[in-house]
Amino acid sequence: VTRIALADYQARVFIAVRQGVKLQEDSIASIKTKGLIGEKYIRINPGGSDKIIPPNGKIREVEPPVDFEELLSKYIFGKV
């Protein structure tokens, strides 16, 4: 992650991708956690498109993160 900005009440995350890595236009980015309460990272699932995201392009598909603390709280207090 090289930069995080707020635009129109949405977070915009800028990442650097190694030179030579090609991401399909329909790749999906998601925020994941290492372990139950570990650090967060961005996982990019490749798409199946023949079109490649150009340099300085955008990943348009984003999967919302899972809030494990909220899920655990609901489980503990029987609200699942």
In a domain, 8, yes or no: no
**Position 70 pLDDT exceeds 80:** no
60 lies in some domain: yes
| Predicted model pTM | 0.69
Domain span at residue 50?
Answer: 20-76
pLDDT tens by residue, 23-66: 999 999 998 888 767 788 899 999 999 999 998 899 999 887 77
Q: Is residue 25 part of a domain?
A: yes
Query: From residue 42, how far is each of 27, 70, 74 by CA, in Å?
Result: 12, 20, 25
The answer to whether residue 54 is domain-embedded is yes
| Residue 24 forms part of a structural domain | yes
Chain centre to alpha carbon of residue 79: 27
CA distance 80 to 77: 8
Q: Look at residue 44 and tell me if it is in a domain.
A: yes
